[in-house]
Amino acid sequence: MPTRLYDWLDSRLNLKPVQRTLLDEPIPGGASWIYVFGSVTLFLFVLQAATGMFLALYYAPTPDHAYDSVRFIETEVTFGWFVRGLHHWGASSMVVAIGLHMLQTFLYGAYKKPREAMWMVGVVLFLVVMTFAFTGYLLPWDQTAYWATQIGINMVGTVPLVGDFLSRVLRGGEILGALTLSRFFAIHVLFLPAILIGGIALHLFVLRRVGPAGPWTDDRASLGSETFAPRQVYMDAVVIAAVFLVVATLAFSIPLPLTDKANPSDTSFVPVPEWYFLFYYELLKYVHGPLEPLATWVLPLCVILIMLCWPFIDRNPVRNPIRRPVALGSGLLFLFVVFGLLGISLKNLYAVPRTDPAVAQGRAMYAQLGCAGCHRIHGEGGAVAPDLSTIGDTRPDRAWHLKHFRDPQSVSPGSFMPKFPLTDQQLNDLTSYMLSLKRAT
Amino acid sequence: MSHSDDTQGSERAGLSTPVGSRRTFFHWVTVAAAAVVGAGLAVPLLGSLVSPAFMRRKREWVDVGPVDTLPAGRPTQLDHVTTVRDGWLEAKSQKAVWAVKQAQGEVKVFSPICTHLGCGYRWDDTEKKFLCPCHGSAYDINGQVLGGPAPRPLDVLPSKVEGGRLLVMYQDFKSGLPQSVEL
């Protein structure tokens, strides 16, 4: 540490008491790896803020330019794809980190008196983060973004009396368009960060007034305390660095291809929300007709209110989870329902024809090789060779296609289709595209 | 209840903190972790910020028309149309360059911008001069300064003839300098 600079500043600004307040905060029962999730969440917020600022250098929030500017970030800007990847995986990681943070708080009964306010502010922060996720999803302005947001806003529209008004406010009018995109952008990069920073400040203020909860033991008098620095700081730092490396690895190794540019007239597109909204997406499949508002707003509202008021619902002062069977049981039931729905949803997703990157590559190759000169798909292309509209149903055999592309005459004698010099990767992509061509279900 | 003495009690009871080599170890691991995250973020973020400063526009040869229809010894204005990339935008850029076919058949192409302050000049066929309407600079058919405030001759653009077609590479030059400096 540059001690002389510190001493110079200290002699003028009297920094020692500040340092003591920040670093010597007592941790009852000593530092622990189980306490790191709050710091990890805070770090991920900083990561989102930093990467978001740099993405904003190139992003243009209008329907004319949003898609092209994101594609520009992805393909032309140096490290642009990586910064976008960090922002994408950082968002997912933040949801995971908040989940673990809340789980730890719940398990340790750390929301109980005198820390009710900290829990409640935390729940609000969680909701703000989910709003971040929802507003950020529209910004690339591709088909997924457009249609997922369309569905999200329509769900708000089912709220009785005010639903129509609320969805108009969200869209900035009757249609999802330029006004929607600019207000989602403004909310995502200006309003929500301001709210979140205020909430974090309040959350930490309450923490410092009441102190961390520590272990769930009843014999609190026997607990020694340890200073926040250096051991808890070290644990936080190690986990933060590990989380960063995981996020960076994901950003580095998994490409995030855009789907086609948003097309309001293409109603055939099946949007899929981010995984953390999937459980809810799944729930909506089971509730139809007059009961639908129950799932779109009554249930979520109830869950949010219960979460928010949980410290006042669970008035049992005991913190040891073994001696809180009701609280623990309801917590487990909640997790079971959420993860059950998430699991079912993930399973179903693989049955839905999604544009996986190989299919998109294959489609591009189909166009590039001029296959449509002879073949027809859904009415487009020539009619001299077999129609491929439902080839995935009629020829679901992957090996057949691979063999066929290498040498058409070998499996289809008399065929006049030429051989194309394709790499294995290209063969696979083209085959994936063929297999994706199925009857609409 | 145990809540009233929740943290206060234990705080007074005794606050331990690691000392000596243990403390140093925690300190350096923390610094190392911060360095990993800091460097891992600084490189891509700052890289994305400064990278456009190193990008140079690609110059391309553009076909501006056949050579044999150019009249020898009389400047002709030719359209120079290119697609210019501006970030994620693509725009058509249309410039009109001045081509002068010499007696020997080779072609000299001038930038259409006056070297004084950047106005567009024109050829006056009666006076046989290039005249700039802004501040009255005048050049002869070879681009040499005949009068006015122009600090240097007209800027010559790279050009070549391929298969009877005239190809020109457009460039911008700094105005007001005694020698040609590309922007």
Within a domain: residue A16? no
In a domain? residue A14: no
Burial class (CB in 10 A: 0-12, 13-18, 19+), A158: middle
- b/e burial code for range A235-258 (CB count within 10 A of at least 16 → b): bbbbbbbebbeebbebbeeeebeb
For chain A, which ranges sit under pLDDT 50? none
With beta carbons under 8 A apart, name residues in chain B contacting A65: 88-89
A15 is a domain residue: no
Rounded CA separation A231/A33 (Å): 10
| Interface contact flag, A230 B17, Cβ < 8 Å | yes
Reported as a single tens digit per residue, the pLDDT across A42-54 is 999 999 999 999 9
Does residue A230 have a cis bond before it (omega within 30 degrees)? yes
* Record: contact B36-A65, CB cut-off 8 A: no
The answer as to whether A1 is a domain residue is: no
* Angle between the N-to-C axes of helices A143-156 and A116-138, in degrees from 0 to 180, rounded to the nearest 10: 130
Whole-angstrom distance, CA of residue A277 vs CA of residue A155: 13
A175/chain B closest Cα distance in angstroms: 26
Instruction: Determine, for residues A26 and B1 on separate chains, whether the beta-carbon distance falls below 8 Å.
Output: no
Structural domain contains residue A17:
no
- CA A293, A312, A107, A195 dihedral sign is positive
Same domain, yes or no, for A75 and A173? yes
pLDDT at B8: 38
What pLDDT shows up at residue A352?
A: 58
| CA pair distance A225, A18, nearest whole angstrom | 20
Q: Are residues A314 and A387 in the same domain?
A: no
| Residue A256: HSE in the Cβ half-sphere, 13 Å Cα cutoff | 22
If asked whether residues A395 and A326 sit together in one domain, one would say: no
pTM for the full predicted model: 0.77
Same domain, A298 and A200: yes
Final residue of a structural domain among A349, A377, A404: A349
CA B154 – CA B177 distance, rounded (Å): 12
Instruction: Pick the closest to residue A87 from A65, A108, A112, A70 (CA basis).
Output: A70
* Residue at a domain's end among A349, A366, A389: A349
* pLDDT value at B128 more than 50: yes
Q: What pLDDT is stored for residue A441 in this prediction?
A: 53
pLDDT of residue A227: 93
SS (H, E, C) A49-112: HHHHHHHCCCCCCCCCCHHHHHHHHHHCCCCHHHHHHHHHHHHHHHHHHHHHHHHHHHHCCCCC
Please give the helix or strand (H or E) that residue A26 lies within, else none. Answer: strand A26-28
Query: Chain A within 8 Å of B20 (Cβ-Cβ)?
Result: no
The residue ranking higher by pLDDT, A359 or B21, is B21
Mark whether A233 and A186 lie in a shared domain.
Answer: yes
A430/A334 same-domain check: no
In this structure, the answer to whether residues A125 and A73 fall within a common structural domain is: yes
In sequence order, which residues have a C-beta less than 8 Å from that of residue A239 and are 6 or more positions away? A33, A36, A39, A40
Residue B37: list chain A partners with CB under 8 A.
43, 240-241, 244
Number of domains in chain A: 2
- pLDDT at B12 exceeding the cut of 70: no
| Amino acid present at A440 | A
Facing A227 at nearest CB: one of B6, B15, B88: B15
CATH number of the domain within which A240 lies: 1.20.810.10
- What is residue A184's predicted lDDT score, i.e. its pLDDT? 98
Report the sign of the C-alpha dihedral through residues A152, A153, A156, A158, in that order: negative
Output the six-digit token pair for A181: 């995109």
Pair A249, A381 in one domain: no
Spell out the residues 6+ positions from residue B180 whose beta carbon is closer than 8 angstroms to its own: B115, B152, B155, B156, B173
| Contact status of B44 with chain A (Cβ, < 8 Å) | yes
Which of these, A94, A25, A48, A44, lies nearest to A233 by C-alpha position? Answer: A25
Q: Tell whether A419 and A335 lie within a shared domain.
A: no
For chain A, positions 213-252, list CB contacts with chain B under 8 A. 213-214, 218, 220-221, 223-227, 229-231, 233-234, 237-238, 240-241, 244-245, 248
User: Has residue A299 been placed in a domain?
Assistant: yes
Same-domain status, A184 and A237: yes
Any domain includes A260? yes
Q: Are residues A373 and A230 in the same domain?
A: no
Of A349, A371, A397, the last residue of a domain is A349
Please identify which residue in the block is written with the tokens 């489609």: A363
Q: Which of A49-53, B57-61, B170-174 has the lowest mean pLDDT?
A: B57-61
Q: Indicate whether B11 pLDDT > 70.
A: no
**A339: amino acid identity, one letter:** F
Residue A385 has a pLDDT of: 86
Q: Which residues pair with A225 in a beta bridge?
A: A28, B15
A234, burial (CB in 10 Å: exposed 0-12, middle 13-18, buried 19+): buried
Section B116-136 average pLDDT: 90
pLDDT of B7 over the 60 cut: no
Establish if A12 belongs to a structural domain: no
Specify whether the CB–CB gap between A241 and B30 falls below 8 A.
no
Residue-wise pLDDT tens digits, A208-264 = 999 999 999 877 777 889 999 999 999 999 999 999 999 999 999 998 888 889 988
Q: Does A369 lie in the same domain as A325?
A: no
The range of the structural domain enclosing residue A79 comes to: 24-349
Residue A232 CA to residue A226 CA, distance in Å, equals: 9
Of all residues in chain B, what percent carry a pLDDT higher than 70? 93
- Does residue A300 have a cis bond before it (omega within 30 degrees)? no
Q: In the predicted model, is pLDDT for residue B139 greater than 90?
A: yes
CATH code of A426's domain:
1.10.760.10
Q: What is the ipTM of this complex?
A: 0.77
